[in-house]
Chains A and B, each alone.
Chain A
Amino acid sequence: MDFPTFLIQLLNSVQYGLLLFMLAAGLTLIFGIMGVVNLAHGSFYMLGAYLAYAIAGLSGSLTVAILGGTALAVLFGLVLERLLFRFFYQRDHLDQVLLTFGLIYIFEEMRSLLWGDDVHGVKIPELLRFSIPLTENLSYPVYRLFIAGLCIALAIGLYLLINNTRLGMKIRAGAFNRDMAEALGVNIRRIHAVVFALGVGLAAFAGIIAAPISSVYPNMGSQVLIMCFVVVVIGGIGSVRGALISALLVGLVDTFGKVLLPQISGMLVYMLMAAVLLWKPEGLFKS
């Protein structure tokens, strides 16, 4: 591999890693910080993608889809939390596992009823529909750079939210010791509702943003789900910084693995996770 190619692969790694972080951000919140095992995370991502297809199709604009879709997803998250998840915070993790398994089935079927089983595409906005030439043969799509930028902004925003705001403080307090936080006057119910809805919204947001480059099809959530859990766990549950670094690490291993070790590239990410957890049994950044 010559040096320019190496640099481009590095760029690929970082961009993919940032994308993974964005996909995993919602899970970091709900699972990492609230401690709720949410296997329906992939379904929320799929919801976002299909919303992008539906809204962009109707309005002709991805921006409308981003704003409208995210808003709808947050609303959906609030309703879901109110009606269902709220009763499961104190329940065993396994009950949450079972619950979200059941939800996956339901969401898959709802998707099929609402939008059918075809493969769909979403157009990249006119403004971003060009590529920057890097070498004689290869160009880099600007939309991907745009996504990468959004991810960085998201990472910073999330980090600031959790660590530097009053809301973040309350969230962390509630996650650390729910009863004590409540005794100190924090409205835990509302916090949980907000965080959950935010988590769902983030997952859907990721789905909407990624839809133009990933296309929209049945079962698209399940592949993303495993990756997201891997990223969150390697980074250490509850740590936004950990999730970002682990996402970048996974991006690196996956990208260079595909090129240098294609025979085992499918397994590499799992080997990475196993290696990290055996070295640091609670992830890279214990929170």
Chain B
Amino acid sequence: MSAPRSNLEVLPRGVQMVLWLGLLALLVFPFVGTEFYTQMVTRMMIMAIFAMSLDLLQGVTGLVSLGHAAYFGLAGYALAFLTPQTETISLWWSLPLSVLASGAAALVIGFFVVRTHGIYFIMVTMAFAQMVYFVFFDNRALGGSDGLYIYFKPTAQIGGFTLFDLDSRVTMYYFTLALVMLVYVFLRRLLWSPFGRALAGIRVNEHRMRAMGFGTFGYKLSAFTLAGALAGLGGFLWGVQTEYINPELMGFHMSAHAIMMVILGGMGNFAGAIVGAFTFEYVLHVFKDLPYVGEVHLGKHWQLWMGSFIVLVVAFAPRGVLGIVQMLTAGRAKEAKSDV
């Protein structure tokens, strides 16, 4: 196979500053954006959580999963099954339960899947995801190919007092943003913990890790389970936001998009996953909205623009968008040094 990547694990000053600016922009956005765009950025943030969960597997541990969307969708389905048609349920237990459902599925599937390597791992994860997909697609009782509605968003109440109302788009936005930051901080801490270092070691050379006495199976399974649970968090939020769950959320294309986002942004540091998710969705949105030039509707041919964009990025930016940011900001710093 190919050489393992050297990732951008330590974020250089320049990149950090750009990220802080991005966070600032996100904090302020609902005040300047319209309802639709607030909702759209919320969705981008949900995808960012999904991408970060995959980055833990793919970027850090070196396990490329082509079936990660299964855990994303499962939490959404859990929420759909938990929410009755006529009344609301509480956020406080529906969120943990849904995340747990995804995590449990990841644990069970991971137990079988983690013993394979390389391309075989990729294919087995895809196989299991397809099995989960078909279970839901083929069974009317589970919603079938047309999916399920979630009739009410979960409530956030303590003793009858409503803390916040997720029906408000702005509230949903900040709730999601808070979770994005929480997950990011958690994962960054994890990256530099002994556990995270072991995972990175497994990515670089698993044999060596085993030789040094690490039980790599356990580490990989833990990473797989944790990644699945975090993907479930994303899926839960998706369900809350759109209130409609469809088997395609667990499908091949969703998994493929997640992989693309992670690679596009830059792997192994979680910031890249966020950037990748935002970039992918944003660029797609821009291309689809291109105006007419004379008789030709440029937006109709968005597949051409999107495909070309992806090819250009992978050809000229091996470390993804974050790598580009790093190059741009590092160059300036070097110039300045020579001035002084």
A and B touch in the complex (CB under 8 A): yes
A interface with B by C-beta (< 8 Å): 35, 37, 84, 87, 90-95, 97-99, 101-110, 112-113, 226, 229-230, 233, 237, 263-264, 266-267, 270-271, 273-274, 277-278, 281-283
Query: In the complex, A267→B134 CA distance in Å?
Result: 6
Query: In the complex, A229→B256 CA distance in Å?
Result: 15
Q: Is B185 an interface residue (CB 8 A)?
A: no
What is the interface of chain B mostly: helix, strand, loop, or mixed? helix
Query: In the complex, A106→B310 CA distance in Å?
Result: 10
Listed from nearest, the 10 A-B pairs whose CB atoms lie closest are A105-B307, A102-B310, A106-B307, A109-B303, A102-B311, A109-B304, A270-B127, A105-B303, A98-B314, A233-B123
Chain A residues, Cβ within 8 Å of B313: 98
Contacts A91-B318, A277-B116; is A267 near B131 (CB within 8 Å)? yes
Chain A residues, Cβ within 8 Å of B309: 102
Q: Is B260 an interface residue (CB 8 A)?
A: yes
Partner of A277, one of B2, B123, B259: B123
Q: Is B92 an interface residue (CB 8 A)?
A: no
Chain B residues, Cβ within 8 Å of A283: 120
Please indicate which of the listed interface residues A103, A264, A274, A283 has the most CB atoms of chain B within 10 Å of its own CB. Answer: A274
Q: Is B115 an interface residue (CB 8 A)?
A: yes
Q: Is the CB of B310 within 8 A of A270?
A: no
Q: Is B263 an interface residue (CB 8 A)?
A: yes
Chain B residues, Cβ within 8 Å of A270: 126-128, 130-131, 134
Contact with A along B33-48 (1 / 0, CB 8 A): 0000000000000000
Chain A residues, Cβ within 8 Å of B128: 270, 274
Q: Is the CB of A95 within 8 A of B314?
A: yes
Chain A residues, Cβ within 8 Å of B64: 93-94, 97
Chain B residues, Cβ within 8 Å of A273: 123-124, 127
Q: Is the CB of B307 within 8 A of A103?
A: yes
Q: How far is the CB of B66 from chain A (nearest CB, A)?
A: 9
Contacts A102-B309, A102-B310; is A277 near B303 (CB within 8 Å)? no
Chain B residues, Cβ within 8 Å of A113: 301
Contact with A along B87-131 (1 / 0, CB 8 A): 000000000000000000000000010011101100110111011
Chain A residues, Cβ within 8 Å of B304: 105-106, 109-110
| Sample of 23 A–B contacts (CB below 8 Å) | A37-B119, A87-B315, A90-B3, A94-B259, A98-B260, A98-B310, A98-B313, A101-B256, A101-B260, A102-B306, A102-B310, A105-B306, A105-B310, A109-B301, A230-B123, A264-B138, A266-B137, A270-B128, A274-B124, A274-B128, A277-B116, A277-B127, A281-B117
Q: Is the CB of A108 within 8 A of B2?
A: no
Chain B residues, Cβ within 8 Å of A106: 303-304, 307-308, 311
Chain B residues, Cβ within 8 Å of A278: 112, 115-116, 124
The count of chain B contact residues (Cβ–Cβ below 8 Å) is 44
* A89 nearest CB neighbor, chain B only: B2
Query: In the complex, A105→B3 CA distance in Å?
Result: 27
Q: Is B57 an interface residue (CB 8 A)?
A: no
Chain A residues, Cβ within 8 Å of B119: 37, 93, 233, 237
Q: How far is the CB of A104 from chain B (nearest CB, A)?
A: 7
Q: Is B252 an interface residue (CB 8 A)?
A: yes
Contact with A along B137-149 (1 / 0, CB 8 A): 1100000000000
Q: Is the CB of B315 within 8 A of A99?
A: yes
Chain B residues, Cβ within 8 Å of A274: 112, 124, 127-128, 131
Q: Is the CB of B315 within 8 A of A35?
A: no
Chain B residues, Cβ within 8 Å of A90: 2-3
Chain A residues, Cβ within 8 Å of B5: 92, 94
Please indicate which of the listed interface residues B130, B131, B303, B314 has the most CB atoms of chain A within 10 Å of its own CB. Answer: B314
Q: A99-B315, A277-B124, A281-B116 are in contact. List 9 more A-B contacts (CB 8 A).
A: A93-B1, A97-B263, A98-B313, A102-B308, A102-B309, A106-B303, A226-B130, A271-B131, A274-B127
Query: In the complex, A229→B127 CA distance in Å?
Result: 11
Q: How far is the CB of A83 from chain B (nearest CB, A)?
A: 11
Chain B residues, Cβ within 8 Å of A87: 315
